[in-house]
Chains A and B, each alone.
Chain A
């Protein structure tokens, strides 16, 4: 019935929505930043544990739609073990993938995150996918204020 939506709602997204990974409070976090999308009320808190410039651990809490939950869940998986510079680079590629006009985006570079590529066809939902990443960007820049997509 929802054939048109297969690009947007892939099975991986349903899976991460049902069972979000790294969904916990991190008591000994080095970085803690809140992200908020006032348009839909999506809200998340991102926790990072750093070891030098390497992200040793990442977790989150919050509530949102399937796209935003899957995005943050996948993100926390993929950034673990990455350096700040690598995570920043990934943020830029992800942003390009979800908002850019370039059709030849290197999906291999983003690994599993490619399941969110379909969001580019749904402008109203891009913010759902990018909220987690803007929050990460703030955390990497060590900004303490909460992050809004508006």
Chain B
């Protein structure tokens, strides 16, 4: 294994010291939400202790401090995903709100009855339901590109479904239920040949790899703070400036306003046009701290280490009789979704919990994916940079023991 300072990194995450049922915590539910480093916790604490006030509206010192830190976080995010301008970085509550924002503004303004939105069969509910709602509102139709048994997008089918009526493509960058990393560059190039904009749901991808929105040339990119070692309740919508400029506002009130009379309202410029109400100020600043922390380690370094963890876990899992891995795409992130013969994932989850191991058991908000594999649910171990091979050994020993108990 290449040198990765995992023991040093683990010291940055105080929760990893926790004992669960008198056993050391083995936290393998990172795809649902990941744990927070001291850098983030301390930053949020510091903001509330020393800097906190509302942003963009006070002339007093604290408001200026908060505003500076808040806007500084925006710049950190811009640089992190290599957006062209901070005007393209909209703060939202999370990836889900970002998708809903695009659906309800860009979508509502641009879709007519009979128009089509193309997604894939591996989307989770947040990248299905907002489009279904939009279809109901506009008369547009939702088209779904199929996947194969490995959990990969069938690209030729995707290509066929991309037609004259397609007005928008919305695709997950990395699947939360399967780990599949989609060929997003190919998807974007194909869509752009037909002048169709592409939204990438990057909630799962961005903690695991370097993302460059200009290199990808995606039109929208969405992600959440809580999966990126940052706070929950904040997220980002990246959009190309020209698209955002042309879009109507989403919600009314607060920073999205420049001038109001009872006759009309003049909207603020980007990015504030889409940031109604007081944002989660300390959490946005905390997300900036998470990005500094990740930059110090390096996303490529993290990706390389996690690839080794996944390879190790996959090899171990394949040796367990009665275990079936769900999702074996060639391009895959650090997620091991599996089922065991005759043992329901919820029983797996409870039994592993008694050993201090936190995994996800359920449909992962991707019920159509479960239907495709004809399973009610899966057990899912998802890895982060603070996980170790030893923890994977604990998981695998736990699985073997529970198979014995159920036998």
A9 vs B352: C-alpha distance in the bound complex, in angstroms?
13
Residue ID in chain B nearest A63 by CB atoms? B376
**Interface residue range, chain B:** 20 to 34
- Chain A residues, CB < 8 A from B370: 41
Q: Which of A26-34, A49-57, A64-72 contacts B (4 or more CB under 8 A)?
A: A64-72
Q: Tell me the smallest distance from the CB of A63 to a CB of chain B, in Å.
A: 6
CB atoms of B361 and A40 under 8 A apart: yes
CB atoms of B354 and A66 under 8 A apart: no
CB atoms of B350 and A40 under 8 A apart: no
Near A by CB (< 8 A), chain B positions 325-354 give: 343-347, 350-351, 354
- Chain B residues, CB < 8 A from A66: 343-344, 347, 406
CB atoms of A2 and B347 under 8 A apart: no
Near B by CB (< 8 A), chain A positions 1-33 give: 1-2, 4-5, 8-9, 14, 17
- Chain A residues, CB < 8 A from B345: 40, 65
Other-chain residue from B21, B346, B351, B405 in contact with A128 (beta carbon distance below 8 A): B346
Q: Tell me the smallest distance from the CB of B370 to a CB of chain A, in Å.
A: 7
Instruction: Indicate whether A124 sits within 8 Å of B376 (C-beta atoms), given known contacts A2-B402, A40-B361, A41-B370.
Output: no
Interface flags, A37-49, vs B, CB<8A=1, else 0: 0011111000000
Q: Tell me the smallest distance from the CB of B192 to a CB of chain A, in Å.
A: 38
CB atoms of B377 and A41 under 8 A apart: yes
CB atoms of A39 and B362 under 8 A apart: yes
Near A by CB (< 8 A), chain B positions 350-366 give: 350-351, 354-355, 361-363
CB atoms of B354 and A43 under 8 A apart: no
Q: Tell me the smallest distance from the CB of B23 to a CB of chain A, in Å.
A: 9
Other-chain residue from A5, A9, A14, A65 in contact with B344 (beta carbon distance below 8 A): A65
Q: Tell me the smallest distance from the CB of B119 to a CB of chain A, in Å.
A: 21
CB atoms of B377 and A125 under 8 A apart: no
A128 vs B155: C-alpha distance in the bound complex, in angstroms?
39
Other-chain residue from A4, A42, A122 in contact with B376 (beta carbon distance below 8 A): A42
Instruction: Indicate whether A4 sits within 8 Å of B354 (C-beta atoms), given known contacts A42-B376, A43-B376.
Output: yes
Q: Is B401 an interface residue (CB 8 A)?
A: yes
A40 vs B349: C-alpha distance in the bound complex, in angstroms?
11
CB atoms of B355 and A41 under 8 A apart: no
Residue from A17, A39, A41, A43 having most chain B Cβ neighbours under 10 A? A41
CB atoms of A41 and B401 under 8 A apart: no
A43 vs B375: C-alpha distance in the bound complex, in angstroms?
12
CB atoms of B406 and A14 under 8 A apart: yes
Residue from A5, A17, A124 having most chain B Cβ neighbours under 10 A? A5
Q: Tell me the smallest distance from the CB of A69 to a CB of chain B, in Å.
A: 8
A82 vs B215: C-alpha distance in the bound complex, in angstroms?
70
CB atoms of A124 and B350 under 8 A apart: yes
CB atoms of B21 and A4 under 8 A apart: yes
CB atoms of A65 and B347 under 8 A apart: yes
Q: Tell me the smallest distance from the CB of B375 to a CB of chain A, in Å.
A: 8
Q: Tell me the smallest distance from the CB of B363 to a CB of chain A, in Å.
A: 6
- Chain A residues, CB < 8 A from B344: 40, 42, 63-66
- Chain A residues, CB < 8 A from B347: 9, 65-67
Q: Tell me the smallest distance from the CB of A126 to a CB of chain B, in Å.
A: 12
Residue from B350, B351, B406 having most chain A Cβ neighbours under 10 A? B350
Q: Tell me the smallest distance from the CB of A12 to a CB of chain B, in Å.
A: 14
Q: What residues of chain A have their CB less than 8 Å away from a CB belonging to chain B?
A: 1-2, 4-5, 8-9, 14, 17, 39-43, 63-67, 122, 124-125, 128
Q: What residues of chain B have their CB less than 8 Å away from a CB belonging to chain A?
A: 21, 343-347, 350-351, 354-355, 361-363, 370, 376-377, 398, 401-402, 405-406
Identify 9 residue pairs between A and B in the complex whose beta-carbon atoms are under 8 Å apart, listed by A's number.
A2-B351, A5-B351, A39-B362, A40-B346, A42-B376, A43-B376, A64-B376, A66-B406, A124-B350
